[in-house]
Structure 1
Amino acid sequence: MSTKVAEHKQVVRRRKIDQLSKIDKFAQRRAQLANSALRTLAELGYARTSLREIAQNSEFSHGVLHYYFRDKVDLITYCVRQYKATTITRYDQILTETDDVRERFVTGMSTSLTQDTDMHRLWYDLRGQTMFEESFRDDVRDIDHSIERMIGRIVSQCAERAGLRLAVPSGLVYALVDGVFQHALLGHLAGDERAAVEFPDQLGALLDRLLV
Protein backbone atom coordinates (compact mmCIF):
# COMPACT_ATOMS: atom_id res chain seq x y z
CA MET A 1 0.00 0.00 0.00
CA SER A 2 2.80 2.38 0.93
CA THR A 3 4.51 1.63 -2.39
CA LYS A 4 1.39 2.60 -4.34
CA VAL A 5 1.07 5.83 -2.34
CA ALA A 6 4.70 6.70 -3.05
CA GLU A 7 4.25 5.98 -6.76
CA HIS A 8 1.12 8.13 -6.84
CA LYS A 9 2.97 11.02 -5.20
CA GLN A 10 5.74 10.74 -7.77
CA VAL A 11 3.21 10.86 -10.61
CA VAL A 12 1.54 13.94 -9.11
CA ARG A 13 4.94 15.59 -8.61
CA ARG A 14 5.94 14.93 -12.23
CA ARG A 15 2.65 16.36 -13.47
CA LYS A 16 3.18 19.53 -11.46
CA ILE A 17 6.71 19.87 -12.84
CA ASP A 18 5.41 19.41 -16.39
CA GLN A 19 2.71 22.03 -15.83
CA LEU A 20 5.21 24.53 -14.46
CA SER A 21 7.51 23.83 -17.39
CA LYS A 22 4.70 24.53 -19.86
CA ILE A 23 3.87 27.78 -18.06
CA ASP A 24 7.52 28.87 -18.17
CA LYS A 25 7.78 28.05 -21.87
CA PHE A 26 4.58 29.97 -22.59
CA ALA A 27 5.90 33.03 -20.73
CA GLN A 28 9.26 32.79 -22.49
CA ARG A 29 7.55 32.59 -25.86
CA ARG A 30 5.41 35.65 -25.09
CA ALA A 31 8.53 37.59 -24.13
CA GLN A 32 10.26 36.52 -27.35
CA LEU A 33 7.30 37.57 -29.48
CA ALA A 34 6.99 40.88 -27.65
CA ASN A 35 10.64 41.71 -28.23
CA SER A 36 10.20 40.98 -31.91
CA ALA A 37 7.08 43.17 -32.11
CA LEU A 38 8.52 46.18 -30.31
CA ARG A 39 10.23 47.64 -33.36
CA THR A 40 7.04 47.69 -35.43
CA LEU A 41 4.97 49.03 -32.55
CA ALA A 42 7.45 51.78 -31.78
CA GLU A 43 7.73 52.75 -35.43
CA LEU A 44 4.02 52.83 -36.32
CA GLY A 45 2.34 53.60 -33.00
CA TYR A 46 -0.90 52.30 -31.53
CA ALA A 47 -3.43 53.45 -34.13
CA ARG A 48 -1.58 52.18 -37.19
CA THR A 49 -0.49 48.81 -35.79
CA SER A 50 -2.39 45.52 -35.90
CA LEU A 51 -1.32 41.95 -35.14
CA ARG A 52 -1.30 41.30 -38.89
CA GLU A 53 0.96 44.31 -39.45
CA ILE A 54 3.33 43.09 -36.75
CA ALA A 55 3.39 39.61 -38.29
CA GLN A 56 4.26 41.05 -41.70
CA ASN A 57 7.26 42.81 -40.18
CA SER A 58 8.53 39.85 -38.16
CA GLU A 59 9.40 36.20 -38.58
CA PHE A 60 6.21 35.09 -36.82
CA SER A 61 2.86 34.36 -38.42
CA HIS A 62 -0.37 36.13 -37.56
CA GLY A 63 -1.71 32.87 -36.12
CA VAL A 64 1.24 32.48 -33.76
CA LEU A 65 0.85 36.03 -32.46
CA HIS A 66 -2.86 35.51 -31.93
CA TYR A 67 -2.23 32.31 -29.99
CA TYR A 68 -0.02 34.03 -27.43
CA PHE A 69 -1.83 37.38 -27.30
CA ARG A 70 -5.58 37.96 -27.26
CA ASP A 71 -5.40 41.10 -29.37
CA LYS A 72 -3.35 44.19 -30.13
CA VAL A 73 -4.10 45.72 -26.75
CA ASP A 74 -2.80 42.64 -24.93
CA LEU A 75 0.41 42.64 -26.96
CA ILE A 76 1.13 46.36 -26.74
CA THR A 77 0.49 46.50 -23.01
CA TYR A 78 2.77 43.51 -22.47
CA CYS A 79 5.53 45.08 -24.58
CA VAL A 80 5.48 48.42 -22.82
CA ARG A 81 5.22 46.82 -19.37
CA GLN A 82 8.24 44.65 -20.14
CA TYR A 83 10.26 47.58 -21.44
CA LYS A 84 9.32 49.90 -18.59
CA ALA A 85 10.17 47.22 -16.01
CA THR A 86 13.64 47.02 -17.53
CA THR A 87 13.94 50.81 -17.54
CA ILE A 88 12.86 51.13 -13.91
CA THR A 89 15.34 48.47 -12.83
CA ARG A 90 18.09 50.27 -14.73
CA TYR A 91 17.38 53.59 -13.04
CA ASP A 92 16.99 51.96 -9.63
CA GLN A 93 20.59 50.82 -10.01
CA ILE A 94 21.56 54.48 -9.81
CA LEU A 95 20.60 54.39 -6.13
CA THR A 96 23.12 51.63 -5.42
CA GLU A 97 26.05 53.54 -6.88
CA THR A 98 28.37 55.66 -4.78
CA ASP A 99 28.79 58.26 -7.51
CA ASP A 100 26.77 61.46 -7.81
CA VAL A 101 23.15 60.27 -8.05
CA ARG A 102 22.02 63.56 -9.57
CA GLU A 103 24.63 63.46 -12.33
CA ARG A 104 23.94 59.80 -13.13
CA PHE A 105 20.20 60.46 -13.28
CA VAL A 106 20.56 63.43 -15.63
CA THR A 107 23.01 61.52 -17.82
CA GLY A 108 20.80 58.43 -17.90
CA MET A 109 17.67 60.38 -18.85
CA SER A 110 19.57 62.30 -21.53
CA THR A 111 21.00 59.14 -23.06
CA SER A 112 17.63 57.42 -23.03
CA LEU A 113 16.04 60.41 -24.75
CA THR A 114 18.13 59.85 -27.88
CA GLN A 115 18.73 56.10 -27.75
CA ASP A 116 15.21 54.94 -26.83
CA THR A 117 13.26 57.60 -28.72
CA ASP A 118 10.82 55.24 -30.44
CA MET A 119 9.94 53.40 -27.23
CA HIS A 120 9.33 56.64 -25.36
CA ARG A 121 7.13 57.80 -28.23
CA LEU A 122 5.15 54.55 -28.00
CA TRP A 123 4.77 54.99 -24.24
CA TYR A 124 3.33 58.50 -24.55
CA ASP A 125 1.13 57.33 -27.42
CA LEU A 126 -0.25 54.48 -25.33
CA ARG A 127 -0.72 56.69 -22.29
CA GLY A 128 -2.65 59.20 -24.37
CA GLN A 129 -4.87 56.46 -25.81
CA THR A 130 -6.19 55.69 -22.32
CA MET A 131 -8.17 58.93 -22.51
CA PHE A 132 -10.49 57.02 -24.87
CA GLU A 133 -9.55 53.33 -24.52
CA GLU A 134 -10.61 51.79 -21.21
CA SER A 135 -9.40 48.25 -21.92
CA PHE A 136 -5.79 48.92 -20.91
CA ARG A 137 -6.26 52.04 -18.79
CA ASP A 138 -5.59 50.23 -15.51
CA ASP A 139 -2.41 48.65 -16.90
CA VAL A 140 -1.08 51.99 -18.11
CA ARG A 141 -1.91 53.67 -14.80
CA ASP A 142 -0.06 50.90 -12.98
CA ILE A 143 3.00 51.42 -15.19
CA ASP A 144 2.75 55.18 -14.73
CA HIS A 145 2.64 54.81 -10.95
CA SER A 146 5.71 52.57 -11.02
CA ILE A 147 7.63 55.21 -13.00
CA GLU A 148 6.43 57.88 -10.57
CA ARG A 149 7.78 55.85 -7.64
CA MET A 150 11.09 55.33 -9.45
CA ILE A 151 11.52 59.05 -10.13
CA GLY A 152 10.50 59.84 -6.55
CA ARG A 153 13.08 57.46 -5.09
CA ILE A 154 15.89 58.90 -7.19
CA VAL A 155 15.09 62.57 -6.57
CA SER A 156 14.59 61.88 -2.85
CA GLN A 157 18.02 60.27 -2.80
CA CYS A 158 19.46 63.33 -4.54
CA ALA A 159 17.99 65.49 -1.77
CA GLU A 160 19.21 63.22 1.01
CA ARG A 161 22.78 63.08 -0.26
CA ALA A 162 22.82 66.86 -0.64
CA GLY A 163 21.42 67.38 2.86
CA LEU A 164 18.26 68.92 1.41
CA ARG A 165 14.57 68.04 1.12
CA LEU A 166 11.94 67.99 -1.61
CA ALA A 167 10.18 71.31 -2.12
CA VAL A 168 7.02 69.64 -3.49
CA PRO A 169 5.23 66.26 -3.08
CA SER A 170 6.71 63.31 -5.00
CA GLY A 171 3.71 63.16 -7.34
CA LEU A 172 4.39 66.70 -8.49
CA VAL A 173 8.09 65.89 -8.84
CA TYR A 174 7.19 63.18 -11.34
CA ALA A 175 4.78 65.43 -13.24
CA LEU A 176 7.45 68.12 -13.63
CA VAL A 177 10.26 65.75 -14.61
CA ASP A 178 7.98 63.93 -17.05
CA GLY A 179 6.84 67.23 -18.55
CA VAL A 180 10.40 68.41 -19.20
CA PHE A 181 11.31 65.04 -20.69
CA GLN A 182 8.25 64.89 -22.96
CA HIS A 183 8.87 68.45 -24.14
CA ALA A 184 12.44 67.53 -25.09
CA LEU A 185 11.26 64.32 -26.77
CA LEU A 186 8.77 66.23 -28.93
CA GLY A 187 11.50 68.63 -30.00
CA HIS A 188 13.88 65.78 -30.74
CA LEU A 189 11.26 63.99 -32.85
CA ALA A 190 10.60 67.23 -34.74
CA GLY A 191 14.27 67.43 -35.70
CA ASP A 192 15.23 70.22 -33.31
CA GLU A 193 18.89 69.49 -32.55
CA ARG A 194 18.81 71.80 -29.55
CA ALA A 195 16.21 69.66 -27.76
CA ALA A 196 18.57 66.83 -26.79
CA VAL A 197 21.51 69.19 -26.25
CA GLU A 198 19.64 71.49 -23.89
CA PHE A 199 17.74 68.78 -22.01
CA PRO A 200 20.49 67.95 -19.45
CA ASP A 201 20.71 71.58 -18.35
CA GLN A 202 16.92 71.89 -18.24
CA LEU A 203 16.56 68.77 -16.10
CA GLY A 204 19.42 69.89 -13.88
CA ALA A 205 17.84 73.31 -13.39
CA LEU A 206 14.54 71.67 -12.48
CA LEU A 207 16.22 69.44 -9.90
CA ASP A 208 17.88 72.49 -8.36
CA ARG A 209 14.45 74.07 -7.87
CA LEU A 210 12.93 70.88 -6.48
CA LEU A 211 15.50 70.58 -3.69
CA VAL A 212 15.56 73.10 -0.83
Structure 2
Amino acid sequence: MTTATHPDARSGQRGPDKFSARRRELATATLKTLAELGYARTSLREIAQNSAFSHGVLHYYFRDKLDLIAEAVRIYEDLCVTRYDEAVASATTADELRRDFSSMFVATLRADSSLHRLWYDLRNQTRYEESLRDEVREIELRRTEMIWNVVHRFCELRGAPARMTRQLVYVAFDGIFQQGLDDLLNGADPEMTGARDLLDEVFAAL
Protein backbone atom coordinates (compact mmCIF):
# COMPACT_ATOMS: atom_id res chain seq x y z
CA MET A 1 0.00 0.00 0.00
CA THR A 2 1.34 3.44 -0.90
CA THR A 3 1.38 5.97 1.89
CA ALA A 4 -0.15 9.30 0.93
CA THR A 5 2.13 12.27 1.30
CA HIS A 6 0.75 15.27 3.14
CA PRO A 7 0.78 18.36 0.85
CA ASP A 8 2.77 20.29 3.44
CA ALA A 9 5.45 17.62 3.38
CA ARG A 10 5.76 17.86 -0.42
CA SER A 11 6.47 21.57 -0.10
CA GLY A 12 9.75 20.74 1.61
CA GLN A 13 8.61 22.02 4.98
CA ARG A 14 7.97 19.97 8.06
CA GLY A 15 4.41 18.74 7.51
CA PRO A 16 3.18 18.28 11.09
CA ASP A 17 4.61 21.62 12.21
CA LYS A 18 3.04 23.52 9.34
CA PHE A 19 -0.24 21.68 9.78
CA SER A 20 -0.32 22.61 13.49
CA ALA A 21 0.56 26.22 12.71
CA ARG A 22 -2.28 26.42 10.18
CA ARG A 23 -4.72 24.92 12.69
CA ARG A 24 -3.69 27.55 15.20
CA GLU A 25 -4.05 30.32 12.63
CA LEU A 26 -7.55 29.20 11.65
CA ALA A 27 -8.69 28.72 15.25
CA THR A 28 -7.41 32.18 16.19
CA ALA A 29 -9.11 33.78 13.20
CA THR A 30 -12.47 32.13 13.96
CA LEU A 31 -12.35 32.69 17.72
CA LYS A 32 -14.61 35.75 17.61
CA THR A 33 -17.20 33.89 15.53
CA LEU A 34 -17.08 30.90 17.87
CA ALA A 35 -17.57 33.14 20.88
CA GLU A 36 -20.53 34.89 19.30
CA LEU A 37 -22.26 31.71 18.13
CA GLY A 38 -21.59 29.53 21.19
CA TYR A 39 -21.50 25.75 21.25
CA ALA A 40 -25.14 24.93 20.46
CA ARG A 41 -25.38 27.14 17.36
CA THR A 42 -21.93 26.33 16.02
CA SER A 43 -21.06 23.99 13.17
CA LEU A 44 -18.11 24.10 10.82
CA ARG A 45 -20.49 25.26 8.10
CA GLU A 46 -21.86 28.06 10.30
CA ILE A 47 -18.35 29.14 11.23
CA ALA A 48 -17.36 29.17 7.55
CA GLN A 49 -20.37 31.32 6.67
CA ASN A 50 -19.35 33.85 9.32
CA SER A 51 -15.62 33.90 8.53
CA ALA A 52 -13.25 34.25 5.60
CA PHE A 53 -12.63 30.51 5.35
CA SER A 54 -14.48 27.86 3.37
CA HIS A 55 -16.17 24.89 4.97
CA GLY A 56 -13.76 22.60 3.10
CA VAL A 57 -10.69 24.34 4.56
CA LEU A 58 -12.00 24.14 8.10
CA HIS A 59 -13.01 20.50 7.68
CA TYR A 60 -9.55 19.64 6.36
CA TYR A 61 -7.82 20.97 9.47
CA PHE A 62 -10.41 20.05 12.11
CA ARG A 63 -12.31 16.82 12.64
CA ASP A 64 -15.45 18.62 13.75
CA LYS A 65 -16.60 21.70 15.64
CA LEU A 66 -15.44 20.22 18.96
CA ASP A 67 -11.90 19.97 17.62
CA LEU A 68 -11.99 23.59 16.43
CA ILE A 69 -13.56 24.96 19.62
CA ALA A 70 -11.09 23.11 21.82
CA GLU A 71 -8.17 24.50 19.81
CA ALA A 72 -9.59 28.03 19.94
CA VAL A 73 -10.19 27.94 23.68
CA ARG A 74 -6.70 26.51 24.25
CA ILE A 75 -5.21 29.43 22.33
CA TYR A 76 -7.21 31.94 24.34
CA GLU A 77 -6.23 30.29 27.60
CA ASP A 78 -2.55 30.51 26.61
CA LEU A 79 -3.00 34.27 26.86
CA CYS A 80 -5.34 34.25 29.85
CA VAL A 81 -3.12 32.29 32.21
CA THR A 82 -0.61 35.16 32.26
CA ARG A 83 -3.14 37.95 32.77
CA TYR A 84 -2.32 38.46 36.46
CA ASP A 85 1.46 38.09 36.21
CA GLU A 86 2.06 41.83 36.16
CA ALA A 87 0.02 42.38 39.32
CA VAL A 88 1.86 39.58 41.09
CA ALA A 89 5.27 40.89 40.05
CA SER A 90 4.67 44.57 40.80
CA ALA A 91 2.67 44.49 44.05
CA THR A 92 4.58 45.52 47.17
CA THR A 93 1.77 44.97 49.69
CA ALA A 94 -0.99 42.40 50.06
CA ASP A 95 -3.66 45.08 49.80
CA GLU A 96 -2.16 46.44 46.59
CA LEU A 97 -2.18 42.97 45.05
CA ARG A 98 -5.78 42.40 46.13
CA ARG A 99 -6.90 45.69 44.55
CA ASP A 100 -4.97 45.15 41.31
CA PHE A 101 -6.18 41.57 40.98
CA SER A 102 -9.81 42.60 41.55
CA SER A 103 -9.53 45.35 38.93
CA MET A 104 -8.08 42.96 36.36
CA PHE A 105 -10.64 40.29 37.30
CA VAL A 106 -13.51 42.68 36.55
CA ALA A 107 -11.81 44.15 33.47
CA THR A 108 -11.45 40.80 31.73
CA LEU A 109 -15.04 39.91 32.53
CA ARG A 110 -16.15 43.06 30.73
CA ALA A 111 -13.68 43.01 27.83
CA ASP A 112 -13.83 39.29 26.99
CA SER A 113 -17.25 38.21 28.22
CA SER A 114 -18.13 36.35 25.01
CA LEU A 115 -14.89 34.36 25.14
CA HIS A 116 -15.37 33.48 28.80
CA ARG A 117 -18.91 32.39 27.97
CA LEU A 118 -17.47 30.08 25.30
CA TRP A 119 -15.10 28.55 27.88
CA TYR A 120 -17.92 27.72 30.29
CA ASP A 121 -20.02 26.45 27.40
CA LEU A 122 -17.21 24.10 26.42
CA ARG A 123 -16.62 23.00 29.99
CA ASN A 124 -20.30 22.11 30.37
CA GLN A 125 -20.10 19.94 27.28
CA THR A 126 -17.60 17.62 28.96
CA ARG A 127 -20.57 16.05 30.74
CA TYR A 128 -21.65 14.73 27.34
CA GLU A 129 -18.52 14.78 25.18
CA GLU A 130 -15.82 12.51 26.56
CA SER A 131 -13.39 13.61 23.85
CA LEU A 132 -13.21 17.08 25.37
CA ARG A 133 -12.37 16.06 28.91
CA ASP A 134 -8.59 15.86 28.64
CA GLU A 135 -8.38 19.29 26.99
CA VAL A 136 -10.64 20.91 29.55
CA ARG A 137 -8.87 19.22 32.45
CA GLU A 138 -5.53 20.57 31.22
CA ILE A 139 -6.95 24.09 30.99
CA GLU A 140 -8.47 23.79 34.46
CA LEU A 141 -5.09 22.82 35.90
CA ARG A 142 -3.48 25.87 34.31
CA ARG A 143 -6.22 28.16 35.59
CA THR A 144 -5.84 26.66 39.07
CA GLU A 145 -2.11 27.40 38.98
CA MET A 146 -2.75 30.94 37.73
CA ILE A 147 -5.03 31.73 40.68
CA TRP A 148 -2.78 29.99 43.17
CA ASN A 149 0.18 32.14 42.07
CA VAL A 150 -1.83 35.23 43.02
CA VAL A 151 -2.92 33.80 46.37
CA HIS A 152 0.55 32.50 47.21
CA ARG A 153 2.07 35.94 46.58
CA PHE A 154 -0.75 37.62 48.53
CA CYS A 155 -0.04 35.40 51.53
CA GLU A 156 3.70 36.03 51.24
CA LEU A 157 3.12 39.79 51.31
CA ARG A 158 0.72 39.41 54.22
CA GLY A 159 3.18 37.28 56.12
CA ALA A 160 0.82 34.39 56.86
CA PRO A 161 0.13 31.09 55.04
CA ALA A 162 -3.13 30.49 53.20
CA ARG A 163 -5.91 28.88 55.19
CA MET A 164 -7.39 27.28 52.06
CA THR A 165 -6.06 24.55 49.80
CA ARG A 166 -5.12 25.26 46.21
CA GLN A 167 -8.23 23.52 44.89
CA LEU A 168 -10.60 25.27 47.29
CA VAL A 169 -9.10 28.61 46.31
CA TYR A 170 -9.70 27.88 42.63
CA VAL A 171 -13.27 26.74 43.16
CA ALA A 172 -14.02 29.91 45.13
CA PHE A 173 -12.55 32.30 42.56
CA ASP A 174 -13.96 30.40 39.60
CA GLY A 175 -17.42 30.46 41.18
CA ILE A 176 -17.22 34.22 41.62
CA PHE A 177 -16.01 34.61 38.05
CA GLN A 178 -18.82 32.53 36.62
CA GLN A 179 -21.50 34.27 38.69
CA GLY A 180 -20.03 37.66 37.78
CA LEU A 181 -20.15 36.71 34.10
CA ASP A 182 -23.78 35.61 34.36
CA ASP A 183 -24.72 38.81 36.21
CA LEU A 184 -22.97 40.89 33.57
CA LEU A 185 -24.55 39.09 30.61
CA ASN A 186 -28.09 39.24 32.00
CA GLY A 187 -27.73 42.82 33.22
CA ALA A 188 -28.22 41.97 36.89
CA ASP A 189 -24.98 43.62 38.03
CA PRO A 190 -23.34 45.69 35.27
CA GLU A 191 -21.01 47.40 37.75
CA MET A 192 -19.70 44.06 39.04
CA THR A 193 -20.33 45.16 42.62
CA GLY A 194 -21.26 41.66 43.73
CA ALA A 195 -18.11 40.12 42.26
CA ARG A 196 -15.89 42.76 43.89
CA ASP A 197 -17.52 42.21 47.29
CA LEU A 198 -17.17 38.43 47.03
CA LEU A 199 -13.53 38.73 46.06
CA ASP A 200 -12.89 40.86 49.17
CA GLU A 201 -14.60 38.18 51.27
CA VAL A 202 -12.43 35.43 49.85
CA PHE A 203 -9.21 37.40 50.34
CA ALA A 204 -10.26 38.10 53.93
CA ALA A 205 -10.91 34.39 54.47
CA LEU A 206 -7.49 33.41 53.13
Give the letter for the 1:97 counterpart: S
For the pair 1:90 / 2:83, whether they are aligned, the reply is yes
RMSD: 1.9
The question of whether the paired residues in 2 share the 8 Å contact of 1:114 and 1:196 is answered with: no
Give the letter for the 2:82 counterpart: T
Which residue matches 2:3? none
For the pair 1:146 / 2:142, whether they are aligned, the reply is yes
Aligned residues: 194
Give the letter for the 1:45 counterpart: G
For the pair 1:193 / 2:196, whether they are aligned, the reply is no
In structure 1, runs of 5+ residues without a counterpart are 1-14
Which residue matches 1:7? none
Q: Distance in 1 between matches of 2:156 and 2:52?
A: 49
* Residue pairs, 1:1-212, within 5 angstroms: 18-20=12-14, 22-99=15-92, 100-194=96-190, 196-210=192-206
Alpha-carbon shift at residue 181 of structure 1 (Å): 1.2
Alpha-carbon shift at residue 123 of structure 1 (Å): 0.6
Give the letter for the 1:185 counterpart: L
Q: Distance in 2 between matches of 1:160 and 1:197?
A: 27
Q: Distance in 2 between matches of 1:120 and 1:157?
A: 25
The question of whether the paired residues in 2 share the 8 Å contact of 1:51 and 1:62 is answered with: yes
**Structure 1 pair 23/94, CA: closer, same or farther in 2 (3 Å)?**
farther
Alpha-carbon shift at residue 103 of structure 1 (Å): 2.0
In structure 2, runs of 5+ residues without a counterpart are 1-8
Alpha-carbon shift at residue 208 of structure 1 (Å): 1.2
- Greater Cα offset, 110-119 or 24-33: 24-33
Alpha-carbon shift at residue 46 of structure 1 (Å): 1.0
Give the letter for the 1:187 counterpart: D
Alpha-carbon shift at residue 207 of structure 1 (Å): 1.1
The question of whether the paired residues in 2 share the 8 Å contact of 1:187 and 1:195 is answered with: no
TM-score (norm 1): 0.84
Q: Distance in 1 between matches of 2:196 and 2:16?
A: 44
- Greater Cα offset, 87-96 or 42-51: 87-96
Alpha-carbon shift at residue 74 of structure 1 (Å): 0.9
Q: Distance in 2 between matches of 1:58 and 1:92?
A: 33
Give the letter for the 1:31 counterpart: R
Q: Distance in 1 between matches of 2:111 and 2:198?
A: 19
TM-score (norm 2): 0.87
Name the SS for the 1:103 alignment partner. Answer: helix
Give the letter for the 1:125 counterpart: D
Name the SS for the 1:136 alignment partner. Answer: helix
Q: Distance in 1 between matches of 2:86 and 2:19?
A: 29
| Identity percentage of aligned residues | 47
Larger Rg: 1
Give the letter for the 1:94 counterpart: A
